[in-house]
């Protein structure tokens, strides 16, 4: 496809954003925040994704949609699953390239690593070299490293949501045109000033004076919800009326999932009873009103084994909460330890429980850390994120 070498003055860039799933997890929520904040005088965006919740939410903010079949391709090679996954990715790539030609786009923006594979393949069918947004960290292995190498060699530019995520490309010799741009959050939605704490607790069935911690995220072993339950058991030795709420569901299953998330959710449901704290743990399932859950908490726990960025860390900080987060991955780029939050090694529930008990017992410390956290969250404003992404669009289109 012949392409102009220069965008006509005054014309918005035409951008096709690609996502391989219709579900909405952290990557998709960050994308929706970007789409809402983007300067439409500078970039006209169309979403290419399977039809579902993501496209419905994009439509609600005025973003047009092109349906593609999508894929749940795994980074693990398998004689049974890999061939049909490759066929699905090729089909999606052809659909993306067809949409790129029809819309005469200047930029293809792949919202995830899997979408990046689709967008790189779409180059074979005439689509421009994509911007690939890498939002996850993949364990080192032959197939995972091959994926990183394909992205590094086939992308026109790469945006990583943390320095931690960017550094994984060192395993394959690095990547040209790498940009580190942290995820945004909607600071008007995550605002404790517009939330009634007592009302939020009534919604959850929690008494107003109960010391309350919480975990928010998809149910999967690496998110560490089971360690949060064990930490609560430790904390209750000093704060016997402390309780925990766990918000989230086992969203991802099938060959693309690293773990048996459904089995993990079942085990998590049994764990509080096995530890003798069954009445102190509430499993809320999937929740739409995450700010409402956060408004009810005294402390937010993020005990992941490996957190690529830590979107919920920033959400908790914006709500003025003291956050105890994993020291592995992205959170050290967000939290100034013991000033705007706390960083602990993952998979050490004794240490997490000791710190949780300390915080639940000290209102003044929670208030001072929460205030500093709230102020620090301002740097993740959607407008700043959108401006940074649009600068990459302009650079790539040129």
Nearest by Cα to 44 from 382, 398, 387, 390: 390
Does 4 score more than 50 pLDDT? no
Q: Which helix (H) or strand (E) holds 281?
A: strand 281-285
Q: Is residue 369 part of a domain?
A: yes
Q: Is residue 233 part of a domain?
A: yes
Task: Say which residue, 88 or 376, is predicted with more confidence.
Answer: 376
Average pLDDT across the chain, whole number: 93
The pLDDT-based confidence of 85 (bands split at 50, 70, 90) is confident
Mark whether 318 and 387 lie in a shared domain. Answer: no
Mark whether 355 and 226 lie in a shared domain. Answer: yes
Does 249 score more than 90 pLDDT? yes
First to last CA, the chain: 16
Describe the strand order of the beta sheet including 107-110 as a list of residue ranges. Answer: 65-67, 43-49, 13-18, 107-110, 131-134, 157-160, 178-180
Q: Is residue 5 part of a domain?
A: no
Mark whether 327 and 354 lie in a shared domain. Answer: yes
Please tell me the distance from the alpha carbon of residue 209 to that of residue 360, in angstroms, as a whole number. Answer: 11
The pLDDT-based confidence of 1 (bands split at 50, 70, 90) is very low
Reported as half-sphere exposure (CB side, CA atoms, 13 A), residue 231 has a value of: 35
Q: For residue 27, give the 3-state DSSP assignment.
A: helix
Mark whether 217 and 294 lie in a shared domain. Answer: yes
Q: Residue 293: CB partners within 8 Å, gap ≥ 6? A: 200, 204, 214, 216, 245, 247, 284, 287
Domain that holds residue 166: 13-184+381-397
Please tell me the distance from the alpha carbon of residue 270 to that of residue 266, in angstroms, as a whole number. Answer: 7
Nearest by Cα to 241 from 197, 208, 288: 208
Does 76 score more than 80 pLDDT? no
Mark whether 167 and 49 lie in a shared domain. Answer: yes
Model confidence over 269-295: pLDDT tens digits? 999 999 999 999 999 999 999 999 999
pLDDT at 352: 98
Contact at 8 Å (CB) between 272 and 243? Answer: no
Please tell me the distance from the alpha carbon of residue 237 to that of residue 315, in angstroms, as a whole number. Answer: 29
pLDDT at 65: 98
Provide the number of structural domains found in the chain.
Answer: 2
Q: Is residue 4 part of a domain?
A: no
Please tell me the distance from the alpha carbon of residue 54 to that of residue 261, in angstroms, as a whole number. Answer: 22
CA angle centred on 36, ends 33 and 39, rounded to 5°: 120
Q: Is residue 51 part of a domain?
A: yes
List, as one string, the DSSP characters of 297-352: -SEEEE--SSBSS-HHHHHHHHTT--EEEESSBSGGGT--BTTTBEEE-TT-HHHH
Whichever domain contains 240, its CATH number is 3.40.50.2000
pLDDT at 70: 82
Question: Could you tell me if residue 276 is left (phi over 0), alpha (psi between -120 and 50 degrees) or otherwise beta?
Answer: left
Please tell me the distance from the alpha carbon of residue 308 to that of residue 314, in angstroms, as a whole number. Answer: 13
Mark whether 97 and 238 lie in a shared domain. Answer: no
The pLDDT-based confidence of 253 (bands split at 50, 70, 90) is low
Q: Which helix (H) or strand (E) holds 40?
A: none
Model confidence over 295-319: pLDDT tens digits? 999 999 999 998 999 999 999 999 9
Mark whether 107 and 241 lie in a shared domain. Answer: no
β-strand partners of 285 = 247
The pLDDT-based confidence of 10 (bands split at 50, 70, 90) is confident
Mark whether 156 and 278 lie in a shared domain. Answer: no
What pTM did the predictor assign? Answer: 0.90
Q: For residue 133, give the 3-state DSSP assignment.
A: strand
Q: Name the token pair of 275.
A: 């530890």
The pLDDT-based confidence of 86 (bands split at 50, 70, 90) is confident
Task: Say which residue, 284 or 398, is predicted with more confidence.
Answer: 284
Mark whether 202 and 136 lie in a shared domain. Answer: no
Number of neighbouring beta carbons within 10 Å of residue 157: 20
Mark whether 352 and 254 lie in a shared domain. Answer: yes
The pLDDT-based confidence of 176 (bands split at 50, 70, 90) is confident
Q: Is residue 8 part of a domain?
A: no
Q: Residue 87: CB partners within 8 Å, gap ≥ 6? A: none
Q: For residue 15, give the 3-state DSSP assignment.
A: strand
Mark whether 137 and 73 lie in a shared domain. Answer: yes
Please tell me the distance from the alpha carbon of residue 160 to that of residue 120, in angstroms, as a whole number. Answer: 16
Mark whether 177 and 321 lie in a shared domain. Answer: no
């Amino acid at each position: 496809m012949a392409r102009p070498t220069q965008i006509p003055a005054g014309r918005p860039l035409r951008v096709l954003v690609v996502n391989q799933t219709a579900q909405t997890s952290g990557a998709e929520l960050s994308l929706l925040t970007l789409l809402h904040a983007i300067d439409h005088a500078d970039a006209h965006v169309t979403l290419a994704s399977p039809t579902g919740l993501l496209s419905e939410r994009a439509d609600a903010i005025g973003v047009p949609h092109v349906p593609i079949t999508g894929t749940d391709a795994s980074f693990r090679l398998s004689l049974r699953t890999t061939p049909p996954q490759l066929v699905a990715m090729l089909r999606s790539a052809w659909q993306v390239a067809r949409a790129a030609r029809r819309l005469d786009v200047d930029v293809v923006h792949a919202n995830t690593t899997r979408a990046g594979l689709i967008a790189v393949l779409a180059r074979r069918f005439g689509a421009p070299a994509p911007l690939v947004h890498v939002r996850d960290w993949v364990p080192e292995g032959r197939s995972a490293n091959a994926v990183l190498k394909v992205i590094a060699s086939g992308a026109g530019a790469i945006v990583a949501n943390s320095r931690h995520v960017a550094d994984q490309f060192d395993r394959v010799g690095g990547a040209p045109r790498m940009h580190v741009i942290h995820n945004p959050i909607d600071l008007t939605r995550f605002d404790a000033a517009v939330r009634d704490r007592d009302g939020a607790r009534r919604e959850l069935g929690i008494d107003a004076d109960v010391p309350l911690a919480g975990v928010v995220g998809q149910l999967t072993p690496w998110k560490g919800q089971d360690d949060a339950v064990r930490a609560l058991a430790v904390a209750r030795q000093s704060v016997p009326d402390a309780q925990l709420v766990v918000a989230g569901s086992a969203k991802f299953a099938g060959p693309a999932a690293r773990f048996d998330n459904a089995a993990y959710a079942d085990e998590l449901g049994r764990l509080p009873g096995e530890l003798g704290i069954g009445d102190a743990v509430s499993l809320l399932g999937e929740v739409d009103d995450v700010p409402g859950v956060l408004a009810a908490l005294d402390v937010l726990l993020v005990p992941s084994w490996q957190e690529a960025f830590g979107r919920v860390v920033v959400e908790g900080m914006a709500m003025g909460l003291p956050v105890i987060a994993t020291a592995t991955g992205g959170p050290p780029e967000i939290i100034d330890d013991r000033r705007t939050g706390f960083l602990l090694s993952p998979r050490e529930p004794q240490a997490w429980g000791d710190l949780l008990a300390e915080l639940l017992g000290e209102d003044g410390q929670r208030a001072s850390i929460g205030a500093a956290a709230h102020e620090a969250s301002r740097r993740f404003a959607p407008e700043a994120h959108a401006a940074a992404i649009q600068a990459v669009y302009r650079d790539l289109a040129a």
